[in-house]
């Protein structure tokens, strides 16, 4: 099935994630995102002791500033990349916003499963790789500053990770409409 601006005849809603109105689902996404943060910090501590963050107290303020600016940059880049990908590959108008602590980019297109998964993960992968390169160049003294930004990027993408998991269990013909905070999955009815 190709991406489309109109829901084909014979399709009906089979699953929905509504992060704006479904507080339980939003809390679940937040909690799992937090668990990912904790696990990734533990993994990071295996490779680089967190004490390296505090090695040079003179530049501690600068490190905190780098983290704050990096997190803002990460949010802007994730949304900007999503907009660019949607405009280039889906040729669609996008809607962007911020609600319930989530920044989002949505559209009116019904995406097929493969395309949706690809556009959902592309911004996260690009940003994580970009900050990985920066982390390698910056050196061990800056590891935790950059790594925290990478951790945020991955944890903030958990709604896509979660929906991808759910999509893997659904039929191949599904179409997904992602308005930003609400992702609705449709499938052909089989009468």
| Rounded average pLDDT over 12-41 | 88
Question: Which residues are registered as beta bridge partners of 112?
Answer: 175
Q: For 128-144, what is each residue's pLDDT tens digit?
A: 899 999 999 998 989 99
Q: For 177-187, what is each residue's pLDDT tens digit?
A: 988 778 899 99
92 vs 5, 84, 118, CA distance in Å? 9, 10, 16
Q: What is the pLDDT of residue 1?
A: 66
Q: How far apart are CA 113 and CA 175, in angstroms?
A: 6
Helix (H, G, I), strand (E, B) or coil at 16: strand
Confidence of residue 65 (pLDDT cuts 50, 70, 90): very high
- For 107, counting Cβ atoms within 10 Å of its Cβ (0-12 exposed, 13-18 middle, 19+ buried), the class is buried
Q: How far apart are CA 24 and CA 26, in angstroms?
A: 5
Q: What is the pLDDT of residue 68?
A: 95
**Residue boundaries of the structural domains of the chain:** 11-188
Q: What is the pLDDT of residue 191?
A: 54
Q: For 82-122, what is each residue's pLDDT tens digit?
A: 888 888 877 777 888 776 666 778 888 899 998 888 888 88
Q: How far apart are CA 31 and CA 52, in angstroms?
A: 28
Percent of the chain, pLDDT > 70? 96
**Secondary structure of 150-184 as H, E, C letters:** HHHHHHHCHHHHHHHHHHCCCCCCCEEEECCCEEE
Percent of the chain, pLDDT > 90? 35
Confidence of residue 155 (pLDDT cuts 50, 70, 90): confident
Helix (H, G, I), strand (E, B) or coil at 9: coil
């Amino acid at each position: 099935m190709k991406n489309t601006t109109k829901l084909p005849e014979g399709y009906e809603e089979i699953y929905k994630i509504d992060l704006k109105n479904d507080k339980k689902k939003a809390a679940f996404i937040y909690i799992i995102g937090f668990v990912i943060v904790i696990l990734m910090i533990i993994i990071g501590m295996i490779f680089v002791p967190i004490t390296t963050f505090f090695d040079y107290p003179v530049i501690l303020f600068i490190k905190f500033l780098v983290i704050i600016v990096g997190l803002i940059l990460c949010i802007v880049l994730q949304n900007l990349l999503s907009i660019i990908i949607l405009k280039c590959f889906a040729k669609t108008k996008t809607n962007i916003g911020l609600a319930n602590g989530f920044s989002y980019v949505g559209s009116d297109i019904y995406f097929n499963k493969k395309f949706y998964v690809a556009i959902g993960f592309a911004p996260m992968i690009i940003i994580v790789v970009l900050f990985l390169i920066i982390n390698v160049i910056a050196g061990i003294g800056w590891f935790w500053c950059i790594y925290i930004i990478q951790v945020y990027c991955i944890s903030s993408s958990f709604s896509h990770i979660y929906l991808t998991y759910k999509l893997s269990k659904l039929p191949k013909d599904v179409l997904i409409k992602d308005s930003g905070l609400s992702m609705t999955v449709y499938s052909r009815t089989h009468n």
